Structure 1
Amino acid sequence: MRNRRRRSRAVVALATAALLCGGALTACDAQGGNSGAPGGESAHGKPSPKPTPAWDTSPRSLAAVGDSITRGFDACSVLSDCPEASWATGTDSEVDSLATRLLGKTRAASHSWNHAKTGARMEDLDGQIQAAAAERPELVTVMTGANDACRSSAAAMTPVGEFRADFEQALRTLRRELPKAQVYVASVPDLKRLWSQGRTNPLGKQVWKLGICSSMLADPDDLNSAATERRDSVQDRVVAYNKVLEDVCAKDRRCRYDGGAVFDYRFDGDQLSHWDWFHPSKNGQSRLAEIAYRQVTSRKPMA
């Protein structure tokens, strides 16, 4: 009798299991429970979908924020913006902007926007990003920080802590408005190299007297210890700003810093505006577009 009862209980257990698994085959496997199929495949033999990569190498719209460089200042005429020559969103074929390279000429005309402003500093970035977010771009380019170092004097430069706080706030705004937008952050250019290149041109030095980046460019031929120390302090501040850009961007999986590519680029006379010998010429704007395109279309960040 005991053996019969044991067999009866076993039959009932098997029947119950068959009913449960028969109604939901995907919930049971040879190992029991809800464990997945071997090799990352579903019970139907199809591979599990791959996660969407954090960085899309072919965004379909672009908004640019930043300062005079992104506005194409002095690329076409003296002391004036020339947005058509902008490295980010320009339409000039000589520049071949990032927007044109990514989107094509026709789409770039309707799906790229330039919210940069000549004279802007990092504290202005939050407002620019708010304006850019209204366009719902898939990629936002950021190039700012030069004006934080280019002040009336070295003492007037933006403190590094404030620079960091302003950049963090701008990225928080971006993430609130556009959680999935990608961000390309260009490093601040090597201002000391721009001084060393431009100081050989008499016309450029006359324009510098109008107040362009006085902290670096004032008294360009003065090589005494005080002037050298002043320029070195500006250079050190630019390096510190770039470290902030790198550190803050690294905390956002959809943010890509250029690894110092713009800072490291060896700009020469051909890449400098012949109106002020400081801002990029059309040739220089094209080099910036080229650097950005390589960074944005690379599957992994470039060193």
Structure 2
Amino acid sequence: MNSDVRESPVLGEAQRRLLPDDDDIAFYDEHGWWVSPRILDDDVLDAAVRGAERFYAGDRDRRLPVETGYVDWHPGDGDEVRNSQHASYRNAELRALALQPVVGAIAARLARTDEIRIFEDTLVYKAPTPAGATGGVVGWHTDYSYSSNCVSQRMLSAWIPTHDVPADRAPLIVVDGSHRWPATEHLRCFNDQDLDGVRTRFATQGREIVEIPLVMGRGQVSFHHSHLVHGSRPNRAELPRMALAVYLQDGDNRYREFWNDGVRIHHFLDGVCRRDADGAPDYADPEFFPVLWRSPDPTVS
């Protein structure tokens, strides 16, 4: 199978001007998130939409070696929130979107690393939810809470919508600066529809809560730290909302054993990726964790 490794991608001058500068990196360090200018062309986004339509219709370009252990929407599951993990592995157009070098170059700058690999991705679709109706919420969570067996503390996510995301179309909502809060690494409230209730629990812990909806135009990409608390409210627009969330690992990330209340934490890809020299899951396996960006210069300059 093709591994899609990007050994030495080259950005054009116009793309290089779109990379975050020192002030942008300082903003990311302080706030835990950053929104890019327009970095993706309509062609790649249009292709991704067509790929998603094929994907939702059941068409697969290749299949994962396992059928269980991950979230995978199927017709009949409901449309309020469709989640499909590792969709880019199974669909060529979504893979082309996930492997955009400019996304990796930006992530490398923000994480201060010379290599960015995909860890996993999720295709997320939200159907319109009429005013007054419940459902369609993605609860507060941190991405690291679903990857506790990773050693890195610099992992981050790129959130790539395929269209404009105005305020009523369920933009990603980040809790500003929450990546610096203690004890959020196990916040797993993704399916908790009570955003305000969880928010109240934060407030009683004396934490300053500043919610920021990331309103974005088509072609922009948002980046957030793996410890940043985030979620989203129902889609109140008349059109669906769709985005590819790509969870990224820096070059130093490796597998570690992690136990929670006597239960060993297991990621579904641990059982299908290759093993390293110590017999542990290899998070550098190019088949499942392809390199998105690699540079000899950690500043990507």
TM-score above 0.5, yes or no: no
Q: For the superposition of Structure 1 and Structure 2, which TM-score range results when normalised by the shorter chain?
A: under 0.3
TM-score, length of structure 1 as denominator length = 0.21
TM-score, length of structure 2 as denominator length = 0.21
Structure showing the higher strand proportion among its residues: 2
